[in-house]
Structure 1
Amino acid sequence: MSPYSAILGTGASLPRRAVSNQELTEFLAAKGVETSAEWIETRTGIQQRYLCEPDETNSQMATKAALRALTAASLLPDQIDLIILATSTPDQVFPSTACAVQAEIGAKNAMAFDIQAVCSGFVYALTVADSMIRAGQARNALVIGSEVFSRLMDWHDRTTCVLFGDGAGAVVLQASEAPGVMGCKLHSDGTLSGILNANGRIDGGKIVGDPFLRMDGQAVFRQAVSVLGNSALELFESLSFKLEDLDFLVPHQANVRILHSVAKKLKLPEERVVITVGMHGNTSAASVPLALNHAVEQKQIKKGHNVLLQGVGGGFTWGSVLVRM
């Protein structure tokens, strides 16, 4: 039994349609919502996002991302023992979207389940997969973040609808004699559930409550900057890891102002922060694996680099995972 786990390959998938800020503002104007491309970019750093068409599903994107990660890892689907899919926007209530991916790729030997921690979902899923590998329950794991947040949007709410996009990212995690995943720290505070939520539910075949995503943007901003900085420092202290040894930070891609504020709090040069929010928007649980895959494909993050992955989202949830690629 190997004592650690390590990332062997990454993959990603995006919907067919990229929607620029200008295209989005024209769409919103037709609904009586006033905004501008400049307003969106100035306040968020977002220039475009990808939005699913009606025929595109969460499981389809997750499947494509998973297959690309498997190719990068030089593994076949039947070598996978575990599939964990982080999402708040599954294809249906059940079966899980992870089981749909298992069926599509033919991972006949894998256990599969979803995990729900909103925008922290991927770091939560990665921590669970790492723990299961260390416990000897699996050797090869697919960890996926996949979201269709556009289907939770109230397109009359300018404070939320300009922020989010759809997409999927995945990694293959494998048992390893050396870390790999060096450490994880996860937290939550359910008393803050009111600042970011989607409270609707199905009851008797009808939607009960508000089915749309709602957010107190200022409260989320303050919490995100505080908890992400503290989470990083807590993890580093527990591992006796020096900040100067960190090569890259891959944070949840919510808002470029949050990313810059966290970098400043950690005294980390901005060139060591992976930022993809401009091209993807906020893709919730997909944002960290999408950003990681982009940095790997651009040869920005390379084998041997120390990388901090961070998520923060509704719940309120947050966490950090330190990995050596």
Structure 2
Amino acid sequence: MAVKITGVGSFIPENEIRNTDFGNHEFLDTDGSPLTQANEIIIEKFRDITGITARRYADDGIMSSDMAFYASKRAIENSGIDPETLDYIILAHNFGDVKKGAIQSDILPSLASRVKQKLGIRNPKCVAYDILFGCPGWVEGMIQAYAFIRAGMAQKCLVIGSETLSRVVDLHDRDSMIYSDGAGATVVEFSENEDDGILAYESATYALDEAGYLFFGNSYNQELDKDVRYIKMHGRKIYEFAISQVPKAMKACVDKSGIDIDNIKKILIHQANEKMDEAIIHRFYKLYGKTPPDKIMPMSIHTLGNSSVATVPTLFDLLTSGRIEDQTLQKGDVIMFASVGAGMNINAIVYRY
């Protein structure tokens, strides 16, 4: 028995926000005082570290569940399945449906239930639920779908990652330039070909000292409403944690799969920070006494930013549809999905395409 992806789709918002659009923002320090550097210098340093030159924001009237529906519809069409035959809809997000300027997110009913309704699925045996797992949520959803199918509890699952991070950022925090909106989805099915699909997985939560590395906090503008909270992070701690722990999890996953490291063709890693991702890949290969091959790591962060749970499935859709320059996949290629995020959570999957 094998579990493989038979359809993939994504939704990338049309609104492009370029770095230059932040030129007139009032960036503040944690104590509310203005940053001493000019915005042009702040933005240039930001681009050098993260690799981000632009990101996408959803239209004001589009919710996270709407984007999830659009990506899911495309994945279902790509797979050719009847949506009524889906056993599970697993939707990873972190902040629910958030209206622009709203104080509270909306997760009642669950976003997965909203997507099921929008897809017009009548079958009550199609179970829909959300998972909150930080940025690695879609990868974790894939692991759960794998477990359901391997256990004989399901034959077809829809796994989605969707987020509107632009609506939970503090515009006075320079870190707000990292985040973006988007959605990606995959149809996952039972396969009789044991050589296909998911070959191994690894997942972990480090919470004793690390749980608060990402958190909700007040705006750096101390004159704003204290009841409104925004996504905040201890960037240096996250960077150090990620480059230390993610390569180890990736190695454990590869070792469990029985695949030789030289046979990994692509690594699709969460698009959070270009320099961090590069450091993770180099440390991962160093664990095998090797250096990363050329073009091993397709990237979308430069123009799409960090859309949290949507980055990996969106990247997979872009790669498999030939929309990433100088990057291709062939049938039978072994790839890896990997992610890190709030919790702190880490996971990885070795997959034969």
Q: TM-score, with normalisation over the residues of structure 2?
A: 0.85
Question: Deviations 1:28-57 (Å, cap 9, x if unpaired)?
Answer: 579x77533423211110011001232111
CA-to-partner distance for each residue in 1:155-181, whole Å, 9 max, x for gaps? 1011x2010000000111001112311
Trace 1:1-325 onto structure 2 (pairs within 5 A). 3-28=1-26, 34-36=38-40, 37-91=43-97, 92-109=106-123, 110-158=126-174, 160-177=175-192, 178=194, 179-191=196-208, 192-198=210-216, 211-265=229-283, 266=285, 267-298=291-322, 300-325=328-353
Does the aligned pair in 1 maintain the 2:17–2:57 contact within 8 Å? yes
Q: Given that residues 263 and 269 in structure 1 are in contact (C-alpha distance below 8 angstroms), is that contact kept between their aligned partners in structure 2?
A: no
CA contact (8 A) 1:58 1:147 kept: yes
Q: Counterpart of 1:7 in 2: which secondary structure? A: strand
In 2, Cα distance between equivalents of 1:233 and 1:73: 31
Counterpart of 1:62 in structure 2: which amino acid? A
In 2, Cα distance between equivalents of 1:238 and 1:314: 25
Alpha-carbon distance in 1 for matches of 2:177, 2:317: 24
Q: CA deviation at 1:127?
A: 0.3
Distance between the aligned counterparts of 2:78 and 2:59, measured in 1? 27
User: Would you identify which runs of 4 or more consecutive aligned residues in structure 1 move more than 4 Å?
Assistant: 27-30, 207-210
What does residue 203 of structure 1 align with?
none
Whole-angstrom CA distance in 2 between matches of 1:181 and 1:123: 11
- Residue type matched to 1:104 in 2? K
Contact 1:260/1:270 (8 A) holds in 2? no
Tell me if structure 2 keeps the 8 A contact 1:15–1:56: no
CA distance in 2, matches of 1:278, 1:270: 18
Cα deviation, residue 208, structure 1: 8.3
Instruction: Determine what percentage of the aligned residue pairs are the same residue.
Output: 27
The structure in which a higher percent of residues are helix is 1
| 2:13/2:56 contact within 8 Å kept | yes
For residue 194 of structure 1, give the secondary structure of its aligned residue in structure 2. coil
Work out the CA distance in 1 between the residues paired with 2:343 and 2:140.
Answer: 12
What is the rounded CA distance, in whole Å, between the counterparts of 1:243 and 1:258 in structure 2? Answer: 21
| Unpaired runs of at least 5, structure 1 | 201-206
Give the AA of the match of 1:70.
Answer: I
CA contact (8 A) 1:117 1:317 kept: yes
Q: Pick closer, same or farther for the CA change 1:312–1:270 going to 2, 3 Å.
A: farther
Structure-1 separation of matches of 2:25 and 2:15: 14
Task: Flag structure 2 segments of 5+ consecutive residues without an equivalent.
Answer: 29-33, 98-105, 219-224, 286-290
Q: Which moved more, 1:262-271 or 1:212-221?
A: 262-271
**Matched position secondary structure for 1:282:** coil
Structure 1 residue 226: deviation in Å?
A: 1.6
| Counterpart-to-counterpart distance in 1, 2:8 and 2:24 | 35
Q: Deviations over 1:218-277 (max 9, x none)?
A: 111111112221111111122222100101000000000011112212232240111111
Whichever residue aligns with residue 24 of structure 2, its letter is E
| TM-score of the aligned structures, taking structure 1 as reference length | 0.92
Aligned length: 316
Work out the CA distance in 2 between the residues paired with 1:29 and 1:314: 24
- Mapped partners of 2:190, 2:24: distance in 1: 49
Shift, 1:199, TM fit: 6.0
The CA distance in 2 between the partners of 1:53 and 1:13, in whole Å, is 12
SS at match of 1:187: strand
